[in-house]
Amino acid sequence: MMKFAAERGDLTAQRDLAASFVNGRGVPQDYTEAVKWLSLAAAQGDTPAQRLLGLMYNKGEGVPQDYVRAHMWLNLVAMKGDAEDVNIRDIITELLTPQQLAEAQKLARECQARNFKGC
C-alpha cells in the first residue's frame, strides 16, 4: 500500500518508504532504493527528505560520496533556519575547497530556483 501511494507521488509515503529502505524495516536494507524515494520527496520540497539525502551524499550511502551535493542539500535545509541543520552544513563546509563550496552554493541556488525539480 505504501509503495503504491509513493508511486502515485504521495510525499509522506515516499519519505516513509525511503526510511524503510534505509533501516531495513519490512524490506531489505537498500540505500540505492532509499535515495530514489528520497529524491522524489526532496523534489517536492520535503525538508526531512532533503536533509537525509544530504547526509547520504556525505556518507556515500546509495550514491557515490559527494561533499558538493551533500552541502547543496544541507544548505537548502539550513536556509530554513534550524540551528542543527546550519551546524551540519557548516561541518560539511570544512571539507570543501573554495571552488567546491562555490559550486555547491551555485547548485543550491539553481535547485531552489527550479523549486527542487531536477536537483
Residue 43 belongs to a domain with what CATH number? 1.25.40.10
Dist. CA 91–CA 87, nearest whole Å? 6
What per-residue confidence (pLDDT) applies to 98? 97
What range does the domain containing 102 cover? Answer: 2-113
Question: Per the domain annotation, does 55 fall within a domain?
Answer: yes
Question: Per the domain annotation, does 118 fall within a domain?
Answer: no
Using pLDDT thresholds of 50, 70 and 90, give the confidence band for residue 117. Answer: confident
Phi-psi region of 10 (alpha: psi -120 to 50; beta: other; left: phi over 0): beta
The pLDDT tens digits for 26-83 are 999 999 999 999 999 999 999 999 999 999 999 999 999 999 999 999 999 999 988 9
pTM, two decimal places: 0.92
What's the structural domain count of the chain? Answer: 1
Using pLDDT thresholds of 50, 70 and 90, give the confidence band for residue 101. Answer: very high
Question: Per the domain annotation, does 119 fall within a domain?
Answer: no
CB neighbours of 70 closer than 8 A, spacing ≥ 6?
54, 55, 57, 58, 92
More confident residue, 29 or 118: 29
